[in-house]
Structure 1
Amino acid sequence: MELSYFRRVAAGGAVAALTFVGVGALAATPAYAATSKVSVVHGIPDTPVDVYVNGEKTLDNFKPGDVAGPLNLEEGAYDIALTRPGEPVAQAILTVDDAAVPGGANISIAAHLDAAGKPKITPFVNDTGKVAAGKARLIVRHTAAAPAVDVRAGGTPVFEDLTNPNEAKGDVDAGAVKADVVLAGTDTVAIGPADLDLKEGTATIVYAIGSADAKNLGVVAQTITGLHSAPAGVPSGDGGQAGTGVDTWWYVLTGAGALLLVGGGARVATARTGRR
């Protein structure tokens, strides 16, 4: 698999937070000028939840490893709350208050484990720029409680020394590829191998998630369609989704997932006294 370019991007901390709230990095597209597309996936081990947006339940008994979205959210501020199934919002175990959602963005927000195994939320703005004919975009994000890793395609490292919570990306030849994740600088496989079908005109976003210590490392992949740059590239899809750019999610490997939420400023409730 030939890389036409390779770029490491620091996606954690203040850089990602500023990007998420729209500081100079989000360009609205005509089709979604007033809304953002936000994807959600739950990966808190052993913790099914109900998900509330602005006080309204939007997901019921959302289980670890389940995925949902993308949600089309209008530009504005949102309160997000996660409760144990059946419990009221006042007893939320995780909240995001006044999450700023800009218009025209394609966002994935990962609440995941940091390198030390502690829960953390990292927002990512997805690269939906056009790709050349015959190419696909591969984006890999390290959101697992694990040391630095190399990502290999067909046994050859394509992204090296990737650390949590950073990402690497490149435009590659479209087609099937067998990928795995190894400890940086070694042949010790941490995740995989897994078969990826990198379709022309798409972006495949692969998250390494879970915990090395808990032995539940896995991979979740998100696909964004409709990135063809040439008129000859005609997107195809099911259920009337062709060419819409709708994100779809599937599991590449078994294992815990990463929880994607809207916004920054999340807090975990340490007492059952409700939100402040």
Structure 2
Amino acid sequence: MRKTTCTAAVATTAAALVLVPAAAASAAGGAGGTATVSVLHAVPGLTVDVYANGSELIPDFTPGTLTDPQQLPAGSYDLAVFQAGQPSTGTPAISANDVEVPAGADVTLVAHLDAQGQPKLTPFVNDTTAVPAGDARVTVRHVAAAPAVDVRAGGQPLVQDLSNPDEASAEVPAGTVSADVVATGTTNVVAGPTDLSLPAGTSTIVYAWGNPTAGGVQLAVQRIEDLGGAPGGVAAGTGGLLDEGGAPAWLVATSAGALGVAVAAGVGAAALRSRRTATVTTATGTGTGTGDRAL
């Protein structure tokens, strides 16, 4: 059975995500089945209450907190985020209407800042497909109030020109890697470095969030487990990933795209869409891609 764990590179507290009956019944009325949903609060300096379909979903939600995953009815949700303690009859700090949560999907809803520092809601669909034996999947999501960034592994570029709110993913040999985030085309570190454990058969999702001019950019980590396993005789979560020459050995095996997921706030249906926009560097070269596809 698939499991999800939630941690952060900066100390956070776990929050229980409880969908109240009114919101659940409203969503269930339009669709069958359930979806796995987690919520990340990545708006710095603001404790909030989160509402779904007019009912309180998460009270006193503090920045940097990633909820445990919950099974929620698939369907359409109107989401509203208010400053903690403020009446829900007022104007929300962030809102998104008609957010479709597909049955069977694994979704992380992120409240964050866009590149210009304005709050927004973005739902990301998590890849839960099988990971090859002995490998791990690593995904980086840019949800910080910052322009495009590069993601480095062992000081070498892995993902280049990643924009808010896009993501890039790769399947790599399991192990531990030192990762940091720099402004695109520079060596100016905006987050990290941090040692990332990448156990075999897991998907590790790293969120770069915050504001570099107000409190800095921080890293939050979400892990989805039981997507595969280690080959015989190889322990999960171990392995030397850095060659003496400094280039991470797993750069030769990367394949990636960028996933940008947009929410139409306040009007119309919010379609979950993927958009390839990042440049991913491997030992064999670099590549870019563009285009959308509805999920």
TM-score higher than 0.5: yes
Q: Check 1:168–1:62 CA distance in 2 against 1; reply closer, same or farther (3 A cut).
A: same
Q: How many Å apart are 1:226 and its aligned residue?
A: 1.4
Q: Check 1:70–1:92 CA distance in 2 against 1; reply closer, same or farther (3 A cut).
A: farther
Aligned residue number for residue 39 of structure 2: 40
Q: How many Å apart are 1:128 and its aligned residue?
A: 1.1
CA distance in 1: counterparts of 2:192 and 2:170, whole angstroms = 20
3-state DSSP class of the match of 1:180? strand
Aligned residue number for residue 105 of structure 2: 105
Aligned residue number for residue 133 of structure 2: 133
CA distance in 2: counterparts of 1:207 and 1:91, whole angstroms = 30
CA RMSD of aligned residues (A): 2.8
Counterpart contact for 1:46–1:64, Cα < 8 Å: yes
CA distance in 1: counterparts of 2:232 and 2:73, whole angstroms = 33
Q: Check 1:154–1:231 CA distance in 2 against 1; reply closer, same or farther (3 A cut).
A: closer
CA distance in 2: counterparts of 1:45 and 1:138, whole angstroms = 24
Q: Check 1:58–1:263 CA distance in 2 against 1; reply closer, same or farther (3 A cut).
A: farther
Counterpart contact for 2:44–2:63, Cα < 8 Å: yes
Identical aligned pairs, as a percentage? 50
CA distance in 1: counterparts of 2:146 and 2:262, whole angstroms = 24
Q: Check 1:97–1:128 CA distance in 2 against 1; reply closer, same or farther (3 A cut).
A: same
**1:111-147 C-alpha deviation (Å, 9 max, x unpaired):** 3222222223332211111111110001111121222
Aligned residue number for residue 164 of structure 2: 164
After TM superposition, list the pairs within 5 Å mapping 1:213-232 onto structure 2: 213-228=213-228
Q: How many Å apart are 1:61 and its aligned residue?
A: 1.1
After TM superposition, list the pairs within 5 Å mapping 1:249-264 onto structure 2: 264=263
Q: Check 1:116–1:88 CA distance in 2 against 1; reply closer, same or farther (3 A cut).
A: closer
CA distance in 1: counterparts of 2:83 and 2:69, whole angstroms = 23
Q: How many Å apart are 1:230 and its aligned residue?
A: 7.4
3-state DSSP class of the match of 1:86? coil
Q: Does 1:62 align with 2:43?
A: no
More contact order relative to length (CA 8 Å, sep ≥ 6): 1
- TM-score, length-normalised on structure 2? 0.64
Q: How many Å apart are 1:263 and its aligned residue?
A: 8.9
Q: Check 1:203–1:171 CA distance in 2 against 1; reply closer, same or farther (3 A cut).
A: same
CA distance in 2: counterparts of 1:263 and 1:38, whole angstroms = 17
Aligned residue number for residue 123 of structure 2: 123
CA distance in 2: counterparts of 1:229 and 1:166, whole angstroms = 28
After TM superposition, list the pairs within 5 Å mapping 1:135-214 onto structure 2: 135-214=135-214
CA distance in 2: counterparts of 1:184 and 1:80, whole angstroms = 33
After TM superposition, list the pairs within 5 Å mapping 1:232-271 onto structure 2: 264-267=263-266
CA distance in 2: counterparts of 1:263 and 1:75, whole angstroms = 18
Q: Check 1:136–1:75 CA distance in 2 against 1; reply closer, same or farther (3 A cut).
A: same
Q: How many Å apart are 1:229 and its aligned residue?
A: 6.2
Counterpart contact for 1:36–1:73, Cα < 8 Å: yes
CA distance in 1: counterparts of 2:140 and 2:228, whole angstroms = 20
- TM-score, length-normalised on structure 1? 0.68
> For structure 1, which runs of at least 5 residues remain unmatched after alignment?
1-32, 237-261, 268-276
CA distance in 1: counterparts of 2:199 and 2:230, whole angstroms = 14
Q: How many Å apart are 1:50 and its aligned residue?
A: 1.6
Number of aligned residue pairs: 211
Aligned residue number for residue 53 of structure 1: 52
Aligned residue identity for 1:82: V
Q: Check 1:136–1:80 CA distance in 2 against 1; reply closer, same or farther (3 A cut).
A: same
CA distance in 2: counterparts of 1:187 and 1:102, whole angstroms = 40
CA distance in 2: counterparts of 1:116 and 1:83, whole angstroms = 20
